[in-house]
Structures are given as C-alpha cells and as structure tokens.
Amino acid sequence: MPPVKTYPHSGFMSVKVLLLVYILLCVLTVFFSRNLFYEILINGQTPRLLELAVYLTIPVVLFVMLSISAVNVVRDLLTKKPCSKFQLRLISNFIIIVVLTALPVILITIQSFYEVVHYWPNIKVREALADANGFAVDVYTLRTEKYEAFISRVDFDALPGLYQSDETKRFGVDKNDIVAIQDFAAGRNDSWRSVFFTGLRGLTLSSPPALLQGFVTQRIMPRDTDVVRYVDTRKKNTLRVVSFTLGEGFDAGNELIRAETFRFEGLNQIFFHNMGYLVFFYYGIFFLPILLMILIIAFGFTQIMIQPIADLGEATMQVARGDFKIQILTHPKDELGLLINNFNVMVQNLEKTRNDLVRSEKQSMWQSMAQQLAHEIKNPLTPIKLTAERVLRRFRDNPEKMDEILGDSMIAIIQEVESLAILLDEFKTLARPIEPSLSTTNIRDATEEIIMPYKMSWNKIHFDTSGVYSWIEVKMDRKRLSQVIGNLAINAIDAIDGDGTIEIRTDIVNKRNCRYCRLSIQDTGKGIDKEVSAKVFTPYFTTKESGTGLGLPIVERIVNDHGGGIWFNSLPGAGTTFFVDIPVKD
C-alpha cells in the first residue's frame, strides 16, 4: 500500500485560482457597474440584449461552479467518504457567516433605495432653478433699462469722452459698464462702414447688428458673451453701437441654469422610470456574483481544512486492516501536522512490535514444523520396519520361498525411502537461506521449457503462453524459476482435474521505484475456498491426499528471497490466478 499524501483539494479548481477569479470579478464589477449606472442614470438607456447576456453570464457561470462544488459534497456524503459530514458542517457554518454578513448590507441598501425614492420628490430643485432663471431675467431687464436711460440722457457726441471718465456716474452708470463704442457711416447702396471704434478689441463688429433704435437681441457667441448692444440712430447717416456688460459670467450662469433645469427634469424622469432596473442590476448582476464567489471559495477552503483529517482517517482505517507500513508523507506545519507526525511514529512502533511478534510466531512455527517433520518421517519408517520384519521372518521360517515376497517388499521399502528423501529435500529447501541469483533468465524461453512436459502429459488441458513476452529477462536462475512455475503449474493442473485452460501471462509493473515482471498463472479449476485461503502458504498444510504441504511455502520463500512477491485471487467454482512479481534486469 503506497503512503498516503496530504495535499489540498478544492474540487475542480484550486483556491489560488478561485482567489484570482474573485479579484478579477471585483475589477469587472466596478468597471461594468460604472458603465451600467452611467447609461441608466445619465443617458436613460437600459442595456441591450447582447449587453444583458454579457452581464448575466458571470452569475450563471458562478452558479454552475457552485452547483458542481455542492454536487461533489453530496457525492462524498453518499459514498461515505471520510470527513464528508465534517466538511458539510464547515460549509454550513461558512454559509451562515456569509448570510449573517450579507444580510445587514442587503437591509441597508434596500432601506437606502427606499429613502432615496421617498426623499427625492421633497427636493425643491425645480423651484430653485425656476427662481434662479427668474432672477437672471430680472437682472437682465434692470440692466437694459438702466443702460437705455443712460443713452437717452447723455449727449450723443459726448459719449466717447464720457466713456473715458467718471462722469458716467452722474447718469447712474459706471464707466466700466461701457465696454465698447463703434460708429458706422452710411455709404452707397445702403452699405455701412465702420468709422470709429473704442473699447475692447474683441467686441469689434464688421457691420451694424441692427438699423433700428434700441437694444439688439443678444447672440450667445464667444464675441458677445456677457454683453448687450444698443443701437443709437439719432445722428443722421450714422449708427452708433454701444456695448454694455451684463457682468462677468452672466451668460455662463444663465446657460448653466437652463442646462441644469433640463438635466434635472430628464434625471427626475429617468430615476423613477429605471429604479427597478437599478435594483435588479445591483443585486442580480453585481452583488449576487460576489456572494456566489465567496461561497465557492468557502467550499475550496473547507476542502483544504478537512483533507489532512481525511487522509489521517484513511490511514487509520488502513492500519485497522493490518497495513502498518503506511505513512503520511506531507502534512501542514501546525498542530494538525504534529498530530500526523505522532501518527507516523505510532505506526512505525506498531510495525516494529508486529515484526517482533512475527519473529516469535516464526520461531513457534519452526518448532511446530520440527514436530510435524518428525511425525512425517515416522510415517514412512513404520511400513519400512514392518516390511523388513516380514522379510526377516520369511527368511527364518521358510528361506526357500523368499523370492515370493522379496521383490514386493523391496519395492515398498524403496518407495517409502524415496518419499522420505523427497520430504527431507523439500524441508531442506524451505529451511536453509536461499541466496538471490545474480544471473538472469529469459522468461519466455524458461516458461516454454518448463511447461512442455506438462503439455505432453495432460493433452486435454490447454496451456496458453501467448501472453509471455520474449524480451523480458528476470533476476532469477532457471532452476529456481523452474521450481516456481512448476509448482504453480502442478497446483493448477490438480485444481482443473480434467479438461480446462491454464493461461500464463507477463506484464511490466513499477513498484517502489523498481521494475518487476508480473507473472500470472490462471486456471479454470474449482478455486480455493475462503476458509482455506489463509492457510495456502502455511508449511505442511495441504488439501491433496498425496501432497506434502511444502510446495507453495517453498515458492513463496524463493520469490521473497529474490525481492519479489506472490499472492492470488480465487473464486470458488470459477478458478484461481496466482500473481508473482520478479525483479527484471536493469
């Protein structure tokens, strides 16, 4: 079992990516909200269909992401994944915190919209603008009346001189009120030409603005800004245009009053007409995505928080199943990390304790094996002794008839001795250390050579070796490999007990930074019962009438001493597959 590693999981996106998306979302929200509110409040235009689709894409995508995260949590709950209930409690707490945080903001903004809607009609902006416009008209009227009275009271010819002195005060006008005087003389064909000008150069006219006595209608242009002109026709064939100031900024202020009046009326209509859009876009397009993004990040953070605990729980279950080699390699550098370190130390101590127990059990097993071996040796010695006594009695009682029993007796003795020799040879193989072979063997050549005698002897059994690769060479000499494959093949043949198939395959696997040849021998026999499976590799345990119970223990010993491993899968009534991992040549 590989070590369990703790590392943060955040569903389908990491928390760093989610935070980056959150920042980007905030920037887009500020940018789009300014454009949206400007279009609605200033221009009175609601978003077009394409713009609305763009605005709605963000909350829809975030809602889909949140749904995926929620589905993953539900899936973990249904599959009873470790810490899934704890994660659900954390997410519930996060949601409660978000709701409690957002609720006051929502209530305040709703109250703000309500107050604005009800307070807006009470603002006397319309009346103030009307009063300001009336005041500007009054100022204009008073000034023109004063200037007209001034023109009617002064001497026409003395006017240019008055313009240069403080004498104008006698007539109720300050000299600074007159900003320009220009005379036009009549010419041929009713044409006029300028014959005199004094004052500000920017107020020079190329022709008379009017031919009748009185004030000229004001033309708002850069030249006539804040100026009103009076045409005097009292002198024959001469027109005098006198320009009076209306005061600095008069026209600009008047224009501002008109513009703001128009803007207020438009804004007033737009505001009430589009208030529903504003509320919808504020909550649906801008506030809701931020809220959804916070919830998605909450899912990611909870995954980070519970992942080390989940790994610790999974490792604990592995220890409960008997896997004491498991270690949690990566962990946070906090109190939880200290707990994981303590867990690793505890598992290592348990592994050491278990190894001590295993050694003790092996010692006890060898004692039991010695007793079993003594019993197994005693079994063939008894018939040998009885046969020898029989031969001896016949030799003493009736030596001339020795040939009647001598042959059968010697054959029986030889068979028992051979059985005893096999038993001792197998015990010797099992008991003595097996030095790993430094030579290599081609797996396909060896398999074909080992299987060939069995193919010839059991012609009703189909041996399939097509899955054995010819390019694989294993670190095991041919003799040991023959013992392994031969024992497994004999067991498969015995399990089939008639017609069937034995399939031998090879694969390359990587374990613990090493490459192994995985040799599998599958039969279609009767399988191994569950109550027998735990004793398969126990010495002297056998279900065969003629077996010694040492074949599979010897195979296991050979494979383990060569740095490999052996195990099996079996289904009663369907067959058994033995798997052997043997190191391959570098």
Co-location of 482 and 377 in the same domain: no
Q: Which of 132, 221, 218, 235 is nearest to 183 (CA)?
A: 235
pLDDT at 1: 44
User: Do 474 and 441 meet the contact criterion of CB atoms below 8 Å apart?
Assistant: yes
What residue type is assigned to position 238 of the chain? T
Give me the number of domains the chain comprises. Answer: 4
Dmax over CA atoms of the chain, in Å, equals 191
Co-location of 409 and 503 in the same domain: no
Count of residues for the chain? 586
In angstroms, the CA 142 to CA 455 distance is: 131
pLDDT at 5: 46
E strand or H helix at 241:
strand 238-245
Co-location of 34 and 108 in the same domain: yes
Considering the domain boundaries, does residue 3 fall inside one?
no
Structure tokens at 505: 């395959």
In angstroms, the CA 173 to CA 154 distance is: 11
Q: Which of 553, 549, 490, 482 is nearest to 523 (CA)?
A: 490
In angstroms, the CA 560 to CA 434 distance is: 10
pLDDT at 247: 81
What residue type is assigned to position 209 of the chain? P
Domain of residue 315 covers: 15-121+274-320
pLDDT at 10: 42
pLDDT at 9: 45
In angstroms, the CA 461 to CA 458 distance is: 6
Torsion, Cα of 204, 206, 208, 210 (10° steps): -100
DSSP 130-147: HHHHHHHHHHHHHHHHHH
Give the C-alpha distances (Å, rounded to integers) separating 180 from 158, 160, 215, 222, 509.
14, 9, 14, 15, 106
Considering the domain boundaries, does residue 9 fall inside one?
no
What residue type is assigned to position 295 of the chain? L
Considering the domain boundaries, does residue 264 fall inside one?
no
In angstroms, the CA 132 to CA 126 distance is: 10
- Other Cβ atoms less than 10 A from the Cβ of 569: the count is 14
The owner of tokens 């090493």 is 514
Structure tokens at 563: 């740095």
In angstroms, the CA 370 to CA 372 distance is: 5
User: Do 410 and 446 meet the contact criterion of CB atoms below 8 Å apart?
Assistant: no
User: What are phi and psi for residue 168, nearest 5 degrees?
Assistant: -65, -25
In angstroms, the CA 131 to CA 261 distance is: 11
Co-location of 408 and 486 in the same domain: no
* CATH number, domain containing residue 559: 3.30.565.10
In angstroms, the CA 201 to CA 48 distance is: 52
The owner of tokens 């064909």 is 189
Co-location of 159 and 243 in the same domain: yes
Co-location of 411 and 451 in the same domain: no
The owner of tokens 């007159």 is 178
Considering the domain boundaries, does residue 509 fall inside one?
yes
Co-location of 221 and 292 in the same domain: no
pLDDT by residue, tens only, the chain of 586 residues: 444 444 444 444 566 676 777 677 667 666 666 666 666 555 555 566 656 666 677 778 778 888 888 888 888 888 877 777 888 888 888 888 888 888 887 788 777 777 766 766 666 777 777 777 788 888 888 888 888 888 888 877 777 877 777 777 777 787 778 888 888 988 877 788 888 888 888 888 888 888 888 888 876 566 678 888 888 888 888 888 888 888 888 878 887 877 777 777 666 666 666 666 667 766 776 677 778 778 877 887 787 777 777 777 778 877 777 777 777 776 566 677 778 788 888 888 887 887 778 777 767 766 666 665 665 566 567 667 767 777 777 777 777 766 767 777 777 677 667 767 766 766 666 566 566 666 888 999 989 888 888 887 788 889 998 999 989 899 888 888 888 888 888 888 888 877 889 999 999 988 777 889 999 999 988 888 887 877 787 776 676 665 666 778 878 888 888 888 898 888 888 889 999 999 988 7
Co-location of 484 and 516 in the same domain: yes
- Other Cβ atoms less than 10 A from the Cβ of 216: the count is 16
Measured at the CA of 98, the angle between CA 294 and CA 110, to 5 degrees, comes to 105
Co-location of 457 and 542 in the same domain: yes
Co-location of 459 and 553 in the same domain: yes
Co-location of 41 and 63 in the same domain: yes
Domain boundary among 377, 400, 431: 431
Considering the domain boundaries, does residue 393 fall inside one?
yes
pLDDT at 6: 44
Considering the domain boundaries, does residue 159 fall inside one?
yes
Please list the residues that pair with 511 across neighbouring strands: 514
Considering the domain boundaries, does residue 404 fall inside one?
yes
pTM recorded for the entire structure? 0.40
pLDDT at 8: 42
Co-location of 202 and 148 in the same domain: yes
Considering the domain boundaries, does residue 6 fall inside one?
no
